[in-house]
Structure 1
Amino acid sequence: MSARSKPVWVWLPGQSEPQRCGSFTLEGGVGRFVYDPAYRELPGALALDPLNLPFTRSARGWRETRQGGLFGVFRDASPEGFGLALLEQLQGVSLTDPLQRLELSEGDAVGAVEVCDDIERKLAFQAPTSQDLMDFLRSLPPERPSSQAVRGVKGLHGTSLGGERPKLTVMHQGQLWIAKLQDRGDPPHAPLREYLAMRLAARCGVQAAEVAFHRVGDERELLLVRRFDREVDAQGRTLRRLYASAHTVLRLDQPTRGDRSRSYVALAHELQRWCGRSDVDSTRLKRELWRRMAFNALCGNGDDHPRNHGLLFTDGRWGLADAFDIAPYLTFSGTLAMAVTRAGRSEATQANLLHDCALFGTTMEEAREFLSTSRERITEAWPQELVACGYRGDEVLLPPALA
């Protein structure tokens, strides 16, 4: 198979226009990336990934064999799940080629990296407004699923966002948000349940992304999650922030439950490596990560896989991105997608959450207090939030209790 190469572009902090930073070559499932010398000489130039793609004196660049040859930060920017299925539907072909996926995807990929020849096409992306989306939802006949609005809303041709549920980027209150919709195969009130969980996470002290909820007509629900990797400035320019999923940070390949490296403990260790500068309190970040793990267990979010956690580059340093995609299961199996102990146990029990809490900079007393207080807050606030959304306080079931 012949080698194929594409330019790699990055939005540096405070800049609304991308810089070409290097070239990515894929051949026979082996990827190679080389920084452009001109990019490295730019004032403020940043490594796309400080550990896996750092600046070095070598001109040979970096080599990757996992994930079909895609480096993690490139894989993070590639469409998957619902976004990939929609892109294939729009293109009328099966996109098995990773480079083709990256080229044809919309310019709303997570983070600040694009791998493509036609960067102008990415820059031309314009998100529809949340009002446009709600108007389209109202116009849909009752028998048609809300997911059809993703393709039908004016000006949208696809999405680079990952995940299995229907979603798209919209402009809302002058900023970019992710809109999530109910799909035909989803459990009842999926957008509402995620909204409630995100609101309750914030009430319990978790650094969660800002959310909004809209009930469109009698039946349709819309969840909005503000994008933490985008900022629209006072001049209307869109600024991007570098992002790396936990899947990238942990250097994972194919998703496999039971993998010892697919764990919160391993991610806490990597936080020290990625964020452990002299002016960064990595212990604070580890404590935040433990709270997120514990809250996922409390609310029955068994979809807490490594692509639903990540790091963000902001204010000149890497740190935890806001918590997102906290979606309680209706029938929780009692197991999280990432292991919670150093021994690789993933059962969401209080004993497991307490077992290695010290590795997260959290004392046993603090951990017990968080679990007890959060249980009470969830029980008290769940019906309150439901009523605020226009539902009865007992209309949607509470998340399952922690064992």
Structure 2
Amino acid sequence: MSGITKPVWVWLPDTHAPTACGTFTLQNKIGTFTYLQTYRATAGAVSLDPHNLPLTRATGGRKETRQGGLFGVFRDASPEGFGLGLLERLKNINIADPMQRLELSEGDAVGAIEVCDDIQAKCAFQPPALDDLVAALASLEPERASSVAAREVKGVKGTSLGGERPKLTVMHGQQQWIAKLQDRGDPPHAPLREYLAMRLAKRCGIRAAQVEFKRVGDREMVLVRRFDRAVTAQGLVSRKLYASAHTVLRLDTQLRGDPQRSYIALSNELQRWCGRSGYDPKQQQRELWRRMAFNAIVGNADDHPRNHGLLYENQGWVLSDAFDIAPYLTFSKTLSMAMTRDGSLEANAGNLLKNCTSFHYEAEEARHYIKTTVATIRNAWPEELAAVGMPHDAAATPAMDWLGDALGIT
């Protein structure tokens, strides 16, 4: 049975070991967090969340009632989806208690926070080697799903990563990467399409995570380099604080229609989170508009608030590298987050331009970005396909004709 109070640990910037920073109590779905006095006196101590868990002179605890009492940055670090299922399978137990999930999860949670008694178990986490995952995939009988390899790879003890698609943290080139596999229920070439979209996002002026594409026989995987981890030549691991957009927007449930579940609201929050002395959050807001526009153009309707986030680096919060840009085979022309002040989810040229000034884009500049992005995708998609040795018909270029009439794109 999991206890109701646990220590909270954080990897401070440029350090390779956790620091005890506070205690978290969860009782009757009400969470309470209190910073330790020793942490307050620690050189370089930072807030785990500058707005919901600010490190101030006040010594009282902070309370949370949303998300069953879990503060957002703690919820971000908790396993879910495939990761939770894998943990339950390996432990042979059902883990309904959120405190138990945080305790038993592996040490590859996103960000730099752990909520647990046994911090040494988190520190001892060693990702399996990519070569071992490749070997596990290669040994599978054709009728078995690729997700089996993620459960059976040598040395695997689980993962704290979220999302439904099978994935694992692996070591590759002496750094930590996330290996995402094709699941049985995925549309054809889902890893390939994500790889292509991520590569093209970079070409279109978006700060996207580094990706690689690999095939093991007929099986595919996309590798995404972790932007919240760095491994030294000696094998020491540093971690960066992370807050999902779900946390930044102070959301409770993952329901469409929440007025706060919007790009406009997230842009407003960037002013609060990223604004600091000598730093202008305008460039972050412009980056966010480009991500919104690219998601619409490439057909990624999986742009929900947990697929955006902020990272703490260089003494401030900025948008993390873009990730999980996964175009749908059949795009309904609606995004998961509202694009306009009136809450419209409809992906069309008018909505992309309607409130672009809220992201510090003038209409003509925004129009130009959309046109050049469409041209880049049309020209570079086949190039990227060929570069990884895939035939031109393996993944069709996203249909973008719906943008044409409004912008004069042919």
TM-score range, shorter chain: over 0.9
d(CA) in 2 for partners of 1:400, 1:92 = 45
d(CA) in 2 for partners of 1:278, 1:365 = 31
Taking structure 2 as the reference length, the TM-score comes to: 0.96
Give unmatched runs, 5+ long, in structure 2.
404-410
8 Å Cα contact 1:170-1:179 kept in structure 2: yes
Tell me by how many angstroms 1:136 deviates. Answer: 1.3
SS in 1 for 2:312: strand
8 Å Cα contact 1:26-1:32 kept in structure 2: yes
d(CA) in 1 for partners of 2:340, 2:383 = 34
- The corresponding residue for 2:407 is none
- The corresponding residue for 1:139 is 139
- The corresponding residue for 1:77 is 77
What does 1:2-401 align with in structure 2 at a 5 Å threshold? 4-217=4-217, 219-401=218-400
Tell me by how many angstroms 1:3 deviates. Answer: 7.6
Q: Residue 25 of structure 2 aligns to which amino acid in structure 1?
A: T
- The corresponding residue for 2:406 is none
SS in 2 for 1:201: helix
Q: Residue 118 of structure 2 aligns to which amino acid in structure 1?
A: D
Give unmatched runs, 5+ long, in structure 1.
none
Taking structure 1 as the reference length, the TM-score comes to: 0.98
Q: Residue 22 of structure 2 aligns to which amino acid in structure 1?
A: G
d(CA) in 2 for partners of 1:242, 1:45 = 12
- In percent, how many aligned pairs have the same letter? 64
d(CA) in 2 for partners of 1:375, 1:270 = 29
d(CA) in 2 for partners of 1:137, 1:167 = 13
d(CA) in 2 for partners of 1:87, 1:146 = 17
Tell me by how many angstroms 1:116 deviates. Answer: 0.3
8 Å Cα contact 1:383-1:394 kept in structure 2: no
Tell me by how many angstroms 1:58 deviates. Answer: 2.7
**Per-residue CA shift, 1:304-353, capped at 9, x if unaligned?**
00000000001111100000000000111110000001111110101001
8 Å Cα contact 2:169-2:177 kept in structure 1: yes
d(CA) in 2 for partners of 1:161, 1:395 = 28
d(CA) in 1 for partners of 2:272, 2:120 = 35
What count of residue pairs does the alignment treat as equivalent?
402
8 Å Cα contact 2:214-2:220 kept in structure 1: yes
d(CA) in 1 for partners of 2:74, 2:399 = 36
8 Å Cα contact 1:206-1:288 kept in structure 2: yes
8 Å Cα contact 2:3-2:99 kept in structure 1: no
My pick for the range that moved more, 56-65 or 109-118, is 56-65
User: RMSD of the TM alignment (CA)?
Assistant: 1.3
Q: Residue 350 of structure 2 aligns to which amino acid in structure 1?
A: A
**Per-residue CA shift, 1:22-73, capped at 9, x if unaligned?**
0000000000000000011000001100111002333321000000000000
8 Å Cα contact 2:49-2:73 kept in structure 1: yes
My pick for the range that moved more, 278-287 or 265-274, is 278-287
Tell me by how many angstroms 1:400 deviates. Answer: 2.9
Q: Residue 380 of structure 1 aligns to which amino acid in structure 2?
A: N
d(CA) in 2 for partners of 1:396, 1:59 = 56
Q: Residue 310 of structure 2 aligns to which amino acid in structure 1?
A: L
8 Å Cα contact 2:304-2:337 kept in structure 1: yes
Q: Residue 271 of structure 1 aligns to which amino acid in structure 2?
A: L
d(CA) in 2 for partners of 1:246, 1:330 = 25
8 Å Cα contact 1:66-1:253 kept in structure 2: yes
**Per-residue CA shift, 1:261-285, capped at 9, x if unaligned?**
0000000000000011132221111
d(CA) in 2 for partners of 1:254, 1:102 = 19
8 Å Cα contact 1:384-1:393 kept in structure 2: no
SS in 1 for 2:397: coil
Q: Residue 269 of structure 2 aligns to which amino acid in structure 1?
A: E
Q: Residue 202 of structure 2 aligns to which amino acid in structure 1?
A: A
d(CA) in 1 for partners of 2:86, 2:235 = 28
Tell me by how many angstroms 1:235 deviates. Answer: 2.6
8 Å Cα contact 2:189-2:394 kept in structure 1: no
8 Å Cα contact 1:268-1:286 kept in structure 2: yes
d(CA) in 1 for partners of 2:220, 2:233 = 31
8 Å Cα contact 1:382-1:393 kept in structure 2: no
Tell me by how many angstroms 1:387 deviates. Answer: 1.1
8 Å Cα contact 1:136-1:149 kept in structure 2: yes
